[in-house]
Structure 1
Amino acid sequence: MIKVGVWGPGSMGVIALRGVIDHPELELVDVVVHSDAKAGRDAGELCGIAPVGVLATQDPAALLAGDADVVVYAAGANLRPLEAVGDMVSILRAGKNVVSCSVVPLVYPDGVDAAFTDPLRQAAADGGVSFFTTGIDSGFANDVLPLVLTGVSRVIDSVRVTEMFNYATYPDEAAVYEILGFGKPPEYQAFAATPGVFTFGWGPVVHQLAAGLGVKVDRIEESNERAAATESFDTPTGHIAAGTIAAMRSTLTGYVGDTATFVIDHVTRMRDDIAPQWPQPYISLPPKDLGYGPASGQGVYRVEIDGSPSMRCEFEMAEDHDHDLGARIAGSSRMVNAIPAVYAAAPGLLSALDLPLITGAGLVRPVDGPSPDSRLFQF
């Protein structure tokens, strides 16, 4: 059994916490939390199941001195990336591997400024351990999935990955209304719309795609557009007034020479009909009364590869028809499922290009196992 600690059971980390508890090859040994409300509570209670005998603490000292082999670091880092890097450096120096989703550029460390990677690289070497960042986007949907699809190409002209995401049910209200700026007037300078921020966060993915295909990106261009609501409406997390921002599109284009070869496109909305001229999920699917159809209708990840043959793949995730929750479960589960491979890897900073195929080994439910309803997440 691989002993695992979880640091930061928030919107992603609490799902990873449940995944570690459920995984047959992993043993939960430590939990570090930030809020007073979670401190002292059993890890099972935090993720909606029976107690498991591991109590959450706000002091990371016990985790750092404990016997965890791997730590899942999922603390929020959108506005504190260097502080999060400092936390992860301390974990690596303590001789514990790290799997994270917090500082998204680190999905491809070779594409990140040395101010972020040098401390991690040195700490991993000192601790003799490995570091890996993953998720869905950044992560599986825009690194592993497109690169796997290119494996059946004869010629590749360009690769485009588009995220179409409805944020109406996203549980982090600060991220939705402050960082993304939804519900704010057009003159509000949202952090996510600040020039250069999208390049910082997702530029490394562009370089990772290029590295996976054996070429080098010569330059990256960034664009950002926002769209206002034409009428007021309410969402499960807040109110969007007419005239305030209700959708945003951020695009990175990576050029190989003078050719636009790699594109990362993010289209985020608070209601599906906002900015209809921007990319939309393909909705001409079989009706649900036939037993199949769109899992949520709220969003997909689309990979388009121009070449021979040309390809288009739409990847949709949902939990109880909720695209946001499905994406968070998938991103968190990829962290958990990667733990054995990261634990076995040589010390250093890793990307998806350095690891073997990550599967759901050990997760197939036995015929006489619990019914699906008994395992639904209760966040």
Structure 2
Amino acid sequence: MIKRIGNHPDLELVGLHCYTPEKIGRDAGEIAGLPPSGVIATGSVEDIIAAAPDVMTFHGVFPDEALYERVLEAGINVVTTADWITGHHRDQNHPHPSGKKVTEVLRAACERGGSTFYGTGMNPGLCQILGITHSCDVADIENVTVIESVDVSCHHSAETWIAVGYGRPIDDPTIPASLEKFTRVFADSVYLMADCFGLELDDVAFSYELGSCTRDVDLGWYVLPKGSLGANYIKYQGIVDGEPKVEAHLEWQMTPHTDPKWNVKGCYITKITGDPSIYSKHMILPKPGTDLSDPAAFASIGMTVTGLPALNAIRSVVAAPPGILTSADLPLRGFGGRFKQQSR
């Protein structure tokens, strides 16, 4: 996102906060593989507040709620891609040390600072907005399902997949709980869609199928022994009167050599049953000229489509009233990208 900020016509980088000691004191451009920018990375929240940005974007895997609170009460807006979309997940599954709900703590910080907090991303995030907008010409909706159908082997984060359970024996009884713990934020995407549809859910149910590796698989950066978890199909289903009405599915494979295996499409799919019914694929491809043999190029796409919904929304977030926003609160222009700036 440092690279994207540099080319974004709405944005200017004025500070960089890092958690890795080796990055602190280095130029942000150097860290991102760019020419020097003059912005020096800090590990101090005080330095970020002193830089007086309009917005802090936070792109860590997991939230830092203590950091959010300090920045928000200083009058700085926060836009993040970390584990957040409606707040339900953090409230239910991650109790705040104060005993209050996380949403209560952050909303109070927004009120003290007159600031705004917004969480987004690709999935959860834009994927659910696609589900909502595709319903605009459908009457008598019976079911809305959004599906992430992807090969995840290009996401070279061993810590992520260890936590989720990939590589453990398929009969390891801890796998289902690990999968649910680290994917529970997808329940928030179901709540967000239900909110936009005006649908009161009785529950959001979790279910899963596991794919066992049929042979040893060495990805170069991760090893999956034969008989270990190498793929999954997860469902989060919003239930009304015993029937699934709004759903988010995760069809993931680390390798195609699993039993069972799924026909991964490499895209995001919206399926709506109604009058008429809708089936739509959201495919994301590398820019022209990309070396398709380079796995890093595909990993970069994943990072880009996660981060850009946050960057492109910043202007609308700054214009919004103080408090916690969800994607349901943003105007349509909050989801608009930017055309390439021509040199003059």
Q: TM-score, normalised by structure 2?
A: 0.88
Q: Is 1:88 matched with 2:72?
A: no
Distance in 1 of aligned mates of 2:311 and 2:176: 28
Q: Is 1:54 matched with 2:39?
A: yes
Q: Tell me, which stretches of 5 or more residues in structure 1 are unaligned?
A: 1-15, 282-298, 370-379
Q: Is 1:364 matched with 2:340?
A: yes
Percent identical residues? 26
Distance in 2 of aligned mates of 1:241 and 1:111: 33
Q: Give the direction of change, closer, same or farther, for the CA distance of 1:38–1:347 in structure 2 (3 Å limit).
A: same
Partner of 1:274: 258
Distance in 2 of aligned mates of 1:273 and 1:92: 47
Match among 62, 87, 98 for residue 78 of structure 2:
98
Q: Is 1:316 matched with 2:286?
A: no
Q: Is 1:117 matched with 2:103?
A: yes
Q: Structure 1, residues 303-338: CA drift from partner, whole Å, max 9, x if none? A: 100111111111122434454432220111111111
Distance in 1 of aligned mates of 2:325 and 2:257: 39
Distance in 2 of aligned mates of 1:38 and 1:199: 29
Partner of 2:164: 180
1:86-235 superposed matches below 5 A: 86-102=66-82, 104=83, 106-109=84-87, 113=91, 115-141=101-127, 143-176=128-161, 178-188=162-172, 193-194=177-178, 197=181, 200-235=184-219
Distance in 2 of aligned mates of 1:191 and 1:64: 41
> Bigger CA drift: 216-225 or 24-33?
216-225
Q: Give the direction of change, closer, same or farther, for the CA distance of 1:356–1:273 in structure 2 (3 Å limit).
A: farther
8 Å CA contact 2:233–2:252 kept in 1: the answer is yes
Q: Structure 1, residues 16-74: CA drift from partner, whole Å, max 9, x if none? A: 22221211221111101111221221111222221111011122220023211100011
* 1:190, distance to aligned residue in structure 2 (A): 5.4
Distance in 2 of aligned mates of 1:121 and 1:188: 40
Distance in 1 of aligned mates of 2:89 and 2:195: 10
CA RMSD after TM alignment: 2.2
Distance in 1 of aligned mates of 2:150 and 2:174: 18
Report SS of the residue matched to 1:211.
helix
8 Å CA contact 2:209–2:232 kept in 1: the answer is yes
Q: Is 1:305 matched with 2:272?
A: yes
Report the residue type matching 2:68 in the other structure: M
Distance in 1 of aligned mates of 2:150 and 2:177: 16
Distance in 2 of aligned mates of 1:35 and 1:110: 30
8 Å CA contact 1:300–1:317 kept in 2: the answer is yes
Q: Tell me, which stretches of 5 or more residues in structure 2 are unaligned?
A: 92-99
Distance in 2 of aligned mates of 1:359 and 1:350: 14
8 Å CA contact 1:318–1:324 kept in 2: the answer is no
Distance in 2 of aligned mates of 1:129 and 1:123: 8
Report the residue type matching 2:211 in the other structure: A
* 1:225, distance to aligned residue in structure 2 (A): 2.4
Q: Is 1:41 matched with 2:17?
A: no
Q: Structure 1, residues 261-309: CA drift from partner, whole Å, max 9, x if none? A: 011111211113534553531xxxxxxxxxxxxxxxxx21111001111
Partner of 1:295: none
Distance in 1 of aligned mates of 2:23 and 2:175: 28
* 1:76, distance to aligned residue in structure 2 (A): 2.6
